[in-house]
Structure 1
């Protein structure tokens, strides 16, 4: 049964297959996003707006380390999907073994200096003034759980590469639900404040790790841990790294973006402007869940069929994924434009933050209907193992366009210059991606 599941990626109708893969991925991302969203609401209402800003300062640092697991997971999963498509199960097992070793060594290797230099890192990412102390409390505890999160992110992508989207979905739901329950108990009932929020997060990471570890021990997996050769394979590590670098570079740029945004906004409007960005950041994670879910569901389909030389199915998967994603993006756009004021009121009662956030949020989501083209296009090159175009297109939006814009436009337009940078970057990066994706389809997928 397990073996037949991965082979279905090359047989079932693309539309039905994409729904089968994307719906569990979307639900998992939705639950994870709801967890972050509700966590922010709890913190904002039970601790205060400064606590929201503090968590926003810590997230890019902890996620940068944890994203190593995601990078290794996505890089290795591209190899695994193509290996399973080509009938090379031993290569898939060897790839997974190297992914585990890389994730453990690299995540722990970054957590240790992260704890040693925390007093320098937190202010650098915007943890200044009243934000510093709560950010330090949260950061210290959360970093202990980051290696478990890295292993979860890596393992979750491998689960999806096997064609097991429902198990991947469950892996995202368990820590999300656990975190919300622990948030309520530790923050509201036991009144532990930022420490409670941090421990709830770290324990939830461990719960996710425990589930993923169980999956690879069980009969549900084709890549059982008991069958894995834990031997370092340099060519595989190089291939995993070249493809994974795309994902980790993106997270590195995200972390740099948070660093710049928090500092720019702190200089323009103080702690409250940082809180505005924190709320918008949570909405970006939450509202885009169906688009991100379709992108996640698209990856194993494209990779498997490309490995099996079924190029017509690859073309159809690209077109179907873009169509459904753009449709979802359009619905998200109208939802934000119509209900931005009501959404912001849920997070905090701070009047200044409530007044500033809706207009900024509308600017940030202004180009949502077209971002699917950029996401699917970049994901396609990663799925088929073409690291250079995947790297370029993945970084085109935030690295090459958005960061220069937020460094330049606020000098002319003030804080509004920060917010209009979002749709400008979305439009330009989408045009670039559409060009390269179309060229690749015409050239390769005949």
Structure 2
């Protein structure tokens, strides 16, 4: 079975990284695009109420981010173990990991759904809902919570498939579910007049179909790993390893949720529903830049994990250098695109001149340090891939929790609403410096290991 993953240790790095990253980039861009389309349809379907509808979806979105955080944390932790075990030839542990990932995902998903469904009003108010946008936020959130299992298993399985080096399967799933989501949006929101509820239902149904596709991949034996029922029995030392390694990714996703919680509440004070709606659109546009960078990290992870497990440290460093160059270029391209045409992008979502003008100035400030985002993402991926939980945790924590949230709270006292937008490039800069320091130390360590081998 290991033969299906051996190319991770033999193929040229340049070709290999693009081979694995390109499907992930395409799939993630489609995912980002259909999130944009969700917001587009909400804005267009609600007409005069577009600001409240977009703001309501923005308030409910942290719930999706929390689901993604849990599933990506499990998926990344499991992927790290699986890719390293494949690299070292321990297929049995890789298969035990696969089964335990399924069990772990099921348990946490059920707990999450029950906990948040019973407290949905309180949670949405905590996330910054206002009297005016709460009905829209609740309508969206209730449906999303009902689809928790579809969301969590979909994201987990995508990570596991990539860990095997089979990124095309993950891409096919994301592209198909993304296109399906867009199609269902149009039918449910305009054909059936379901409004915000239709947007949520389209998302859940598309995720469910994608999850069933990935389950079929494992059940039919197309994976290099055998899915055996005996592997579902929890092994607590294995679950602990998955948790520790994936905790950094969980924190990164959960910190996005916490950041949105703080941000929505601050925006309510300094700009009300209009500013919440502005970031509801701006945040989705930013994902067009962020997703290709994440896609590179997804392609990088199995390469790092496999070659670290096989002690091919020169290949680890070569893939690290190349990924940093590529992600920096993506950040520069995103900066140019969203800084030159921000008004054009915002006008797609609403005809309200206030949201277009406010969004134009906000997006130009937010994107200033986007070329540096890749340093933090690749640094986090590096430490996750080699099984070093502490530095991956620090790097995943620093941008949102240590830097961005305090700045979002502090800067508006001096610069009003502009201070909220300024917090983003400043936190990106600070996170990049910390990432550069830790990554350079690890890079030199691998150089020394390689020269002494």
TM-score norm. by structure 2 comes to 0.96
Q: Corresponding residue for 2:14?
A: 15
Q: Corresponding residue for 2:77?
A: 75
Q: Corresponding residue for 1:38?
A: 37
Task: Give the SS at the match of 1:347.
Answer: coil
Range 188-197 or range 62-71, more displaced: 62-71
Cα distance between partner residues in 1 of 2:127 and 2:76: 27
User: In the TM superposition, what are the counterparts of 1:144-159 in structure 2 within 5 Å?
Assistant: 144-159=146-161
Q: Corresponding residue for 1:51?
A: 53
Q: Corresponding residue for 1:183?
A: 185
- Residues 268 and 275, structure 2, Cα contact 8 Å, conserved in 1: yes
Q: 1:52 Cα deviation (Å)?
A: 1.2
Q: 1:227 Cα deviation (Å)?
A: 6.8
Gap change, CA 1:224 and 1:173, over 3 Å in 2: farther
Q: 1:228 Cα deviation (Å)?
A: 5.8
Cα distance between partner residues in 2 of 1:373 and 1:65: 25
Unaligned runs of 5+ in 2: 449-453
Q: 1:4 Cα deviation (Å)?
A: 3.2
Q: 1:65 Cα deviation (Å)?
A: 2.8
2:165 maps to 1:166: no
When the two chains are superposed, the root-mean-square deviation of aligned CA atoms in Å is 1.2
- Residues 65 and 256, structure 2, Cα contact 8 Å, conserved in 1: no
- Residues 4 and 224, structure 2, Cα contact 8 Å, conserved in 1: no
Cα distance between partner residues in 1 of 2:33 and 2:230: 35
2:66 maps to 1:64: yes
Cα distance between partner residues in 1 of 2:4 and 2:424: 40
Gap change, CA 1:149 and 1:228, over 3 Å in 2: farther
**For 2:255, which of 253, 256, 263 is the aligned residue?**
253
Count of residues in Structure 1 that have an aligned counterpart in Structure 2: 445
* Per-residue deviation, residues 238-297 of structure 1 (Å, max 9, x unmatched): 100101211111122111100111111011111001000101110111233322211111
**For 1:310, which of 300, 309, 312 is the aligned residue?**
312
Gap change, CA 1:443 and 1:66, over 3 Å in 2: closer
Q: Corresponding residue for 1:388?
A: 390
Gap change, CA 1:228 and 1:51, over 3 Å in 2: farther
Cα distance between partner residues in 1 of 2:197 and 2:434: 44
Q: Corresponding residue for 2:451?
A: none
Q: 1:342 Cα deviation (Å)?
A: 1.0
- Residues 65 and 111, structure 1, Cα contact 8 Å, conserved in 2: no
Q: 1:219 Cα deviation (Å)?
A: 3.3
Q: Corresponding residue for 1:438?
A: 440
Cα distance between partner residues in 2 of 1:5 and 1:20: 15
Q: Corresponding residue for 2:363?
A: 361
**For 2:131, which of 129, 152, 169 is the aligned residue?**
129
* Per-residue deviation, residues 123-149 of structure 1 (Å, max 9, x unmatched): 110111211011111111110111211
Q: Corresponding residue for 2:354?
A: 352
Unaligned runs of 5+ in 1: none
Q: 1:94 Cα deviation (Å)?
A: 0.3
TM-score norm. by structure 1 comes to 0.98
Q: Corresponding residue for 1:289?
A: 291
- Residues 348 and 354, structure 1, Cα contact 8 Å, conserved in 2: yes
2:341 maps to 1:339: yes
Q: Corresponding residue for 2:91?
A: 89
* Per-residue deviation, residues 297-334 of structure 1 (Å, max 9, x unmatched): 11111111001000000000000000111112111111
- Residues 66 and 146, structure 1, Cα contact 8 Å, conserved in 2: no
Gap change, CA 1:228 and 1:149, over 3 Å in 2: farther
User: In the TM superposition, what are the counterparts of 1:139-288 in structure 2 within 5 Å?
Assistant: 139-226=141-228, 229-288=231-290
- Residues 20 and 299, structure 2, Cα contact 8 Å, conserved in 1: yes
